[in-house]
Chains A and B, each alone.
Chain A
Amino acid sequence: MTNSSDRTRQGRSVSEGVRLVRAATATLKQSLGSWLSTLENKTQTTFNRYLDSGYDPGASDSHTRRGEQGIAVRNLSVCYGERYAFEGLTGEFQPGSLTAVVGPNGAGKSSLVKALAGMVRPAAGEVLCPALARHRLAYLPQQDELDRGFPITVAELVALGGWRNFGSVREPPPRVTESVFEALVAVGLVSVTDRQIAELSVGQFQRALFARLLLQDADVILLDEPFASLDESTTEDLLHFLRRWHGEGRTVIAVLHDLDCVRRHFPSTLLLARSPIAWGETDLSLSVDNLARAQKALVLAERGRIGRVA
């Protein structure tokens, strides 16, 4: 009798102990769990912000804001050391405009495009470009700024254009492969899909970069001498994409040398020679008078600099 009551008492105390421990672990789990999940969220935010801010898979479906994607510049100047690349540029690249940037060699055209793309910090003034902050800006540098010896195939290069679908660390979804194929068909490079980029001709490489631009699907597209050292037929093909992007309401800005090409295809032109000479409708900007002024301005700027050195 006593034995059994002892046993029940014992049993009760054990079960009570178990219950106590369980309750304790439950509260511990709750408090630790919330702490852990906030920690996880924090890590996730930091990770996204600094290492993976380009991952944005939903973005491709929303073209609603494309109409607002212009670039405004206010008193913009860029310096290399003590030398001004260009200075005092104020104005706006209208949303959906197709603008050529022309000027003599050394006029600061590439520097302007780099400043618009956020690649170089302005020495003065500011660039207002909502597309840049939202990673909806694409920038095509001059070919010699890329390392053609890098071991990567054409398909891989083009697939990078779909970055927002996979970001820094994820596996590319199948739809990226499909759009790579479509883009390669569009630029006429299907036959070299699996070649290394080192094996391409200059024209083929430029076509591949345009295919990557197609995948990027950006609202603002900046091109630095996209047709330099290309043959006529390639230039013609690639111009077709510029016109198409313009038709789709994207803002396109290209640094160019060929004035005939600019007059034929570009509605607006910025004439730059260290400082802005003219900015507006192409025919007005590229008047004989303005072109002469551009040449003179650059000579004057150079002379001033040589005078300072001597």
Chain B
Amino acid sequence: MIGQFIGYLIGPFETFGFMRIALVACVALALSNGPVGTLLLMRRESLQGNVLSHAVIPGAALGFLYAGYSLAALTFGGLLSGLGVAGLAALAARSRLQRQDSPLIAFYLVSLSFGVLVVAARGSQADLMHVLFGTVLAVDVKALVLIASISSVTLLIVAMFYRPLAVESFDPAFLRAVGGGGGAFRFMFIALVALNLVASFQAFGTLLAIGPLLLPAAAARCWTNKVWPMIILATVIGMVAAIAGLLTSYYANLPSGPAIVMGAGGLYGMSLLAAGRMRLKAKGLEGLR
């Protein structure tokens, strides 16, 4: 009985190479999405992350126009346009003409529309779906190497510069005063987010790439107030969601990207409920004391 169950869990990965590659890609993504998503959440910049994920589209779409499904073209195009739009958004925010939300949302809508137009002008309906929602199961070894490299570099950078990255997010004035190099770390963090979104883009498309980045971190935040446990928990939740999503998509014949994001969303919902109930209990106990 248990053996059969484990067989169901392992079977698909044992049988099909593409499932194995998808699994490794998702695990690698979860490893770097954990810390980056947690930092993004703590900075209260989820919206900015969302904008970045859409800002990746125009560049990736242009890359696709010129080079087809070339990994390098998609990646560099996406990275460049992501950073470009992030820079523009920062400029718009600095001008203080409007609250920061409005220019961000404008950039997000414009990049999304532009990217869709570019792809639609040249490619097919299938290409459009590929750009918007990604195809985890179509990740090949080359893309896997790219994802794994980005994830390794991200982990190294976060491990090395964790302190200034964290301080910059809640007291930038202090970081500047003590000479931590404030602006440099702000840029570094945005570049990290853009890099990870580009990596996710292959698997989840531009509409969903932000999901595996933010949802596990948000779920982890329900359970703990400390940063390191949050990062580790977010990583684990991301991996569990990936495995659950892949298996669901395999057995129910559903698209895998949305299934994984749904898995992460489900874990987030459960965390919200469970953590809320625990907090109520703790309060009740305190009241008794």
Chain A: residues with CB nearer than 8 A to chain B?
50-54, 56, 80-81, 117-119, 132, 135, 137-139, 141, 145-147, 149-152, 160, 163-164, 167-169, 196, 198, 212, 216, 218
**A163 near B178 (CB under 8 angstroms)?**
yes
Interface check B180, CB cutoff 8 A: yes
**A54 near B227 (CB under 8 angstroms)?**
no
**A135 near B174 (CB under 8 angstroms)?**
no
Chain B, range 27-70, C-beta contacts under 8 Å to A: 42, 44
Distance of A230 from chain B, by nearest CB (Å): 19
Bound form: Cα–Cα A147–B173 in Å = 12
B181 contacts which of A52, A119, A146 (Cβ < 8 Å)?
A52
**A164 near B178 (CB under 8 angstroms)?**
yes
Q: 20 other contacts beyond A53-B179, A81-B95, with CB at 8 A cut-off?
A: A50-B184, A51-B181, A54-B181, A56-B179, A81-B96, A119-B173, A135-B179, A138-B177, A139-B174, A141-B171, A151-B225, A152-B227, A160-B178, A163-B179, A164-B178, A164-B179, A168-B161, A168-B164, A168-B181, A218-B177
Residues of A within 8 A of B97 (CB): 81
Chain B: residues with CB nearer than 8 A to chain A?
42, 44, 95-97, 160-161, 163-164, 166-167, 169-171, 173-174, 176-181, 184-185, 225-227, 230
A152 contacts which of B44, B160, B170 (Cβ < 8 Å)?
B170
Q: A150-B169, A160-B167 are in contact. Are A169 and B179 (CB under 8 A)?
A: no
B179 contacts which of A54, A119, A196, A212 (Cβ < 8 Å)?
A54
**A53 near B177 (CB under 8 angstroms)?**
no
**A119 near B176 (CB under 8 angstroms)?**
yes
**B161 near A145 (CB under 8 angstroms)?**
no
Residues of A within 8 A of B169 (CB): 147, 150
**A54 near B180 (CB under 8 angstroms)?**
yes
**A150 near B170 (CB under 8 angstroms)?**
yes
Q: Which DSSP category, helix, strand, loop or mixed, fits chain A's interface?
A: loop
8 A–B pairs (Cβ distance < 8 Å), ordered by A:
A54-B181, A117-B176, A132-B177, A149-B44, A150-B42, A151-B230, A167-B180, A216-B178
**B44 near A160 (CB under 8 angstroms)?**
no
Bound form: Cα–Cα A81–B160 in Å = 38
Residues of A within 8 A of B163 (CB): 168-169
Distance of B98 from chain A, by nearest CB (Å): 11
Residues of B within 8 A of A146 (CB): 170-171
Query: Which residue of chain A has the shortest Cβ distance to B177 in the bound complex?
Result: A139
Which of B170, B173, B178 has most A Cβ within 10 Å? B178
Residues of A within 8 A of B167 (CB): 160
Which of B44, B179, B227 has most A Cβ within 10 Å? B179
Residues of B within 8 A of A168 (CB): 161, 163-164, 180-181
Residues of B within 8 A of A117 (CB): 173, 176-177
Bound form: Cα–Cα A33–B74 in Å = 39
Residues of A within 8 A of B181 (CB): 50-54, 168
Bound form: Cα–Cα A196–B97 in Å = 36
**A169 near B161 (CB under 8 angstroms)?**
yes
**B180 near A80 (CB under 8 angstroms)?**
no
Residues of B within 8 A of A56 (CB): 179
Bound form: Cα–Cα A50–B161 in Å = 13
